[in-house]
């Protein structure tokens, strides 16, 4: 039925002027979910047109033949009207049910798929064997353990992590994402935030005249595409931010002399400075600025899963799990991690 609905709506919208066609452009998705999304968009335009025109499905408006018979055959109008309505209801009901049951589906298939960074030491990076390890993979493993399922890690970057969640490529995002209002509009954020970090710069030691953020005016920094603070640092301090995908490309550009420093999360820079490769020629001389909490996220509508993740996050804080993870991976626990542990450990 879904296939027939999509086909008839395709025929209908092909004969209508925009914005009927906009349903397709706005509904670009992957897999079967995309077809259903587009069909719903087309059906919405059909119902709007039907209400405005009051023309039957068998009308010559649809076929431009100048007669009352439909190009799709006698009797097509009434039967297809019923089919369209029934199919639309089934589609919408199925979508809601699928959204509400994702946690159950994770348990049913026995696998939790989590999007994590693979280029962000110590939160998510590849070890010599190629496996993704770090603080956030450990958090993901704990979630899978609580659910009693296996864990699949999917590497993401700032530019695609929300898209992967929306497309259903991952069930859960644990990927160093700062909490911003515009992000809460497109994902279901988990409260309380599991972490908090500041912004800083991995600065070349060759640069001698930068002792405060205001000294960055007119200077070029490398950055990561999708990082919310790129524009803020540029506006507030007058620096030019040259953005690249991920973190490895801007680091490569920094080594190549394309910029004087790498603008990124302070904890990442602390992690880099644990490596002798970076400590010889680079440092973090400036204080952190623009502190922002980090959030876990699930897809919109996954209230059951969100509640589970809220309870899990609170337990991490109560037991000091995140503080211990920071110590395990060689960074100083943040004030936020320590404060939340103190607040929750007696609860």
Alpha-helical segments (H) within the chain: 2-14, 22-26, 31-53, 60-63, 76-100, 102-109, 135-147, 161-166, 181-184, 229-237, 248-255, 266-272, 276-279, 303-319, 321-328, 335-344
The arrangement of secondary structure in 104-194+295-344, i.e. its CATH architecture, is: 3-Layer(aba) Sandwich (3.40)
Lowest mean per-residue pLDDT among 5-9, 212-216, 267-271: 5-9
- Local confidence band at 332 (pLDDT 50, 70, 90 cut-offs): confident
In this predicted structure, the answer to whether residue 328 has a pLDDT above a threshold of 60 is yes
pTM for the model stands at 0.64
State the average pLDDT over residues 265-292: 92
- Local confidence band at 271 (pLDDT 50, 70, 90 cut-offs): confident
State the average pLDDT over residues 171-198: 96
Contacts of 86 (CB under 8 A, 6+ apart): 1
Q: What is the pLDDT of residue 101?
A: 72
CA distances from 159 to 137, 166, 265, 324 (A): 19, 13, 15, 29
Q: What is the pLDDT of residue 318?
A: 97
Closest to 50 (Cα-Cα) out of 1, 84, 4: 84
Secondary structure (3-state) at 198: strand
Assigned token pair, 134: 């770090």
In this predicted structure, the answer to whether residue 2 has a pLDDT above a threshold of 60 is no
CA distances from 88 to 4, 9, 93, 145 (A): 11, 11, 8, 39
Average pLDDT of the chain to the nearest whole number: 81
pLDDT digits (tens, 9 = 90+) for 307-319: 999 999 999 999 9
- For the domain spanning 197-292, the CATH number is 3.40.190.10
Burial class (CB in 10 A: 0-12, 13-18, 19+), 220: middle
Burial class (CB in 10 A: 0-12, 13-18, 19+), 81: middle
Alpha-helical segments (H) within 101-247: 102-109, 135-147, 161-166, 181-184, 229-237
- Local confidence band at 74 (pLDDT 50, 70, 90 cut-offs): low
pLDDT digits (tens, 9 = 90+) for 18-63: 444 434 333 333 333 444 444 454 555 455 445 544 444 444 434 4
Q: Are 296 and 290 in contact (CB under 8 A)?
A: no
Q: Are 104-194+295-344 and 197-292 equal in CATH topology?
A: yes
Beta bridge partners of 188: 298
pLDDT digits (tens, 9 = 90+) for 213-240: 999 999 999 999 988 899 999 999 999 9
Segments making up each domain of the chain, as ranges:
2-99, 104-194+295-344, 197-292
State the average pLDDT over residues 3-15: 46
């Amino acid at each position: 039925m879904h296939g027939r609905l999509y086909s008839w709506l395709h025929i209908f919208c092909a004969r209508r002027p925009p914005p009927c066609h906009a349903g397709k452009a706005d509904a670009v998705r992957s897999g079967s979910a995309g077809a259903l999304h587009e069909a719903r968009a087309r059906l919405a335009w059909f119902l709007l047109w039907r209400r405005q025109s009051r023309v039957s499905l068998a009308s010559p408006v649809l076929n431009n033949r100048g007669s009352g018979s439909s190009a799709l055959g006698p009797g097509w109008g009434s039967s297809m009207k019923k089919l369209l309505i029934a199919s639309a209801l089934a589609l919408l009901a199925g979508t809601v049910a699928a959204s509400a049951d994702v946690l159950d589906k994770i348990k049913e298939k026995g696998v939790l798929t989590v999007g994590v960074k693979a280029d962000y030491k110590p939160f998510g990076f590849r070890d010599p064997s190629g496996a993704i390890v770090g603080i956030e993979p450990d958090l993901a493993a704990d979630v899978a353990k609580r659910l009693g399922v296996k864990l699949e890690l999917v590497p993401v970057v700032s530019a695609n992590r929300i898209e992967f969640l929306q497309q259903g490529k991952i069930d859960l995002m644990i990927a160093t994402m700062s909490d911003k209002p515009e992000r809460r509009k497109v994902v279901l954020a988990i409260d309380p935030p599991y972490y908090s970090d500041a912004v800083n710069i991995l600065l070349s030691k060759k640069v001698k005249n930068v002792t405060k953020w205001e000294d960055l005016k007119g200077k070029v920094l490398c950055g990561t595409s999708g990082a919310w603070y790129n524009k803020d640092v540029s506006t507030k301090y007058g620096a030019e931010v040259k953005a690249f995908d991920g973190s490895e490309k801007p680091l490569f550009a920094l080594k190549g002399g394309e910029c004087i420093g790498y603008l990124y999360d302070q904890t990442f820079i602390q992690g880099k400075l644990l490596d002798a490769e970076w400590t010889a020629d680079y440092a973090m001389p400036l204080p952190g600025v623009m502190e922002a909490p980090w959030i876990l996220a699930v897809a919109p509508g996954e209230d059951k899963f969100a509640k589970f993740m809220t309870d899990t996050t609170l337990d991490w804080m109560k037991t000091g799990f995140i503080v211990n993870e920071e110590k395990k991976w060689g960074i100083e626990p943040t004030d936020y991690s320590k404060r939340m542990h103190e607040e929750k450990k007696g609860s």
